[in-house]
């Protein structure tokens, strides 16, 4: 039976994406995994060390197996790495009720704000935020991709820069000449818009603060026998042991400056500056001593926290 799920795939000790190529490959892998498992994606947010998805599927485990294998193969091949990428256990929770679904979608799309990456969700390029209410909000693709630049459907030679070698690409997917699948091809835009109903309510949910009123609204969704479902909150959607919920709530209220040096900036510096200096092919080949030396350099140059350095160096 097809149900609605919130899925969170995390990597506590190592980033999942080191540059924009990794993000775009993962986004394409999402598209192909949906097609392969007959699943539907309502919204997504790809963060450097975790992924949030809202998925309609009759087998979310099968979907994640296909998606995770694709991303891991790409990452391991590119960075001369072996083994599982990310945590073994994946968080998967069933969503029941329109108010709960709206709350989950809102939290997913606001995830970059909660983690201090940007001050507005619309500025984040690796989520589905710019897919919805595009005419009302006059939204343009944040990556600057234009319809006239797409590959014609009759084109059979599709570049595989951002695609698994053997992944089957549906004919209705829109691709750029570089082989990037547009999110509008695989995101269930209409379903998401129906949750929010109007562009104005969409903006309201993107900017409202987490409070008891939002939790009470979700009490309108009840199970048979009038059982009240627990509300979706930051505490239930994020890992409390890993993230400071108070800090996330503060970010939600706009009390922060965006991270100046995010994980992608740090990883690109490691891969393009530090790794070649040690005459290695990838960060995975650095010795512990070399990583410790790199950590001191990153601390001195970028003034970032130890936990960020450790996940970017996989220490």
How large is the average pLDDT for residues 277-295? 96
Q: Are strands 40-46 and 3-10 parallel, antiparallel or unpaired?
A: unpaired
pTM score > 0.95 for this model?
A: no
Q: What is the pLDDT of residue 25?
A: 94
At residue 154 the predicted structure's pLDDT band, cuts being 50, 70 and 90, is very low
How large is the average pLDDT for residues 68-77? 95
Q: What is the pLDDT of residue 162?
A: 77
At residue 202 the predicted structure's pLDDT band, cuts being 50, 70 and 90, is very high
**248-284 per-position pLDDT tens digit:** 888 888 877 888 899 999 999 999 999 999 999 999 9
**167-193 per-position pLDDT tens digit:** 778 888 888 888 888 899 999 999 999
Least confident among 136-140, 225-229, 231-235, 258-262: 225-229
Which of 58-67, 152-161, 222-231 has the highest mean predicted lDDT (pLDDT)? 58-67
> Boundaries of CATH 3.30.70.1290 in the chain?
3-252
Assign domain 3-252 one CATH number from 3.30.70.1290, 3.40.640.10, 3.40.190.10, 2.60.120.1130: 3.30.70.1290
Residue 243 pLDDT > 80:
no
Q: What is the pLDDT of residue 149?
A: 57
Q: What is the pLDDT of residue 214?
A: 87
Q: What is the pLDDT of residue 250?
A: 83
Q: What percent of the chain has pLDDT over 90?
A: 61
**88-130 per-position pLDDT tens digit:** 999 999 999 999 999 999 999 999 999 889 888 999 999 999 9
């Amino acid at each position: 039976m097809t149900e609605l799920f919130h899925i969170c795939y995390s990597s506590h000790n190592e980033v999942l994406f080191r540059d924009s190529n990794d993000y775009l490959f993962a986004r394409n892998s999402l598209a192909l995994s949906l097609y392969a498992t007959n699943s539907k994606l309502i919204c997504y947010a790809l963060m450097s060390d975790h992924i949030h998805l809202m998925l309609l599927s009759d087998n979310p485990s099968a979907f994640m197996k296909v998606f995770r294998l694709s991303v891991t193969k790409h990452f391991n091949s590119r960075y001369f790495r072996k083994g599982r990428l990310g945590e073994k256990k994946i968080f998967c929770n069933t969503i029941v009720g329109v108010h709960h679904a709206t709350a989950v979608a809102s939290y997913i799309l606001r995830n970059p704000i909660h983690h201090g990456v940007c001050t507005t969700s619309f500025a984040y390029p690796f989520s589905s935020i710019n897919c919805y209410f595009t005419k009302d909000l006059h939204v343009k693709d944040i990556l600057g991709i234009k319809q006239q630049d797409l590959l014609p459907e009759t084109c059979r030679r599709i570049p595989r820069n951002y695609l698994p070698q053997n992944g089957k690409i549906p004919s209705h997917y829109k691709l750029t000449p570089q082989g990037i699948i547009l999110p509008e091809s695989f995101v269930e835009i209409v379903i998401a818009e129906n949750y929010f109903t109007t562009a104005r309510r969409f903006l309201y949910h993107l900017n409202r603060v987490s409070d008891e009123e939002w939790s009470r609204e979700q009490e309108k969704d009840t199970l048979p026998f009038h059982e009240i479902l627990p509300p979706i909150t930051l505490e239930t959607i994020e890992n409390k042991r890993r993230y400071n919920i108070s800090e996330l709530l503060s970010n939600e209220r706009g009390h922060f400056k965006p991270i100046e040096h995010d994980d992608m900036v740090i990883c690109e510096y490691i891969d393009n500056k530090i790794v070649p200096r040690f005459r290695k092919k990838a960060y995975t080949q650095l010795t512990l001593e070399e990583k410790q030396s790199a950590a001191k350099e990153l601390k001195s140059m970028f003034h970032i926290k130890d936990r960020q350095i450790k996940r970017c160096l996989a220490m």
